[in-house]
Amino acid sequence: DAGVIQSPRHEVTEMGQEVTLRCKPISGHDYLFWYRQTMMRGLELLIYFNNNVPIDDSGMPEDRFSAKMPNASFSTLKIQPSEPRDSAVYFCASGRFNSPLHFGNGTRLTVT
Amino acid sequence: DAKTTQPPSMDCAEGRAANLPCNHSTISGNEYVYWYRQIHSQGPQYIIHGLKNNETNEMASLIITEDRKSSTLILPHATLRDTAVYYCIVRPDNAGNNRKLIWGLGTSLAVNP
């Protein structure tokens, strides 16, 4: 089991550019979550999917953020256009019904 | 969902037991207590969870008080690699309620040589 795989590990981009973060969940997990972590706000849930369907996106900050899960083994989180306040570590996590979450090692995003 | 209260930081000597407290006085009957930890530059890692009874696994022990209003995570022989932020979370026993986990800022545990 390779665990949850996220790419890239680090992303530096300029304000206004499009950013795409990628996640491969653990095989067999039917829940997928995107979190954002900052020093000020800690871990915040952005959106989660069940069986590839978005269930709750109430944590997505604004329309600049979008997430997709085209199949059970892949998800993306896109920010367009990016802003400096989007700088954070973005985590993807997966899990089964009522089971603990398994997190990836995150993508550290810096928007200059 | 019930919120939790944890001390912001703790120290522990290497080889000694680390006892991390958590207060969850508003916990409901169907809510589990979960513990995760986050080592620097990594994602959170699941440690242990319980409902009413004390639990033990290869990583830690979880002691839940009889009234379930508080719990203690015990690392029996702390090592330098246990230095991390430890999160105590309560979670209802329902599918999909992962979405409302309130992580808080956790306890930053420093294990000292």
Q: CB contact, 8 Å: B51 with chain A? A: no
The answer to whether A1 touches A26, Cβ cutoff 8 Å, is yes
Question: Which residue in the set B49, B99, B103 is minimally distant from A100, CB to CB?
Answer: B49
For residue A58, the distance in angstroms to the closest alpha carbon of chain B comes to 10
**Rounded Cα distance, B5 and B10, in Å:** 14
pLDDT per residue as tens, chain A (112 positions):
689 999 999 999 999 999 999 999 999 999 999 999 998 888 999 999 999 999 989 899 889 999 999 999 999 999 999 999 999 999 999 999 878 899 999 999 999 9
User: Per-residue pLDDT for B56 more than 80?
Assistant: yes
Among all residues of chain A, which has the CA nearest to that of B46? A100
**B99 chain-A contacts, CB cut-off 8 A:** 33, 45, 48, 55-56
Integer-rounded Cα radius of gyration of chain B: 13
List for chain A the helix, strand, coil content (%; round to 5): 5, 55, 40
Q: CB contact, 8 Å: A103 with chain B? A: yes
Q: CB contact, 8 Å: A25 with chain B? A: no
Classified as helix, coil or strand, B54 is coil
Residue B43 CA to its chain's centroid (Å): 15
Tens of pLDDT, residues B66-97: 999 999 999 999 999 999 999 999 887 654 55
Tens of pLDDT, residues B10-41: 999 999 999 999 999 988 888 899 999 999 98
For residue B48, the distance in angstroms to the closest alpha carbon of chain A comes to 9
Among all residues of chain B, which has the CA nearest to that of A6? B43
Residue B4 CA to its chain's centroid (Å): 10
Subunit contact B44:A101, Cβ cutoff 8 A? yes
**A105 chain-B contacts, CB cut-off 8 A:** 41-43
Question: Which residue in the set B94, B95, B101 is minimally distant from A45, CB to CB?
Answer: B101
Query: What are the Cα distances from residue A81, in Å, to A84, B45, B54?
Result: 10, 32, 49
Assess whether the previous peptide bond of B44 is cis (omega < 30° from 0).
Answer: no
Interacting residues of A76 by C-beta distance below 8 A, sequence separation 6+? A20, A21, A22, A23, A67, A68
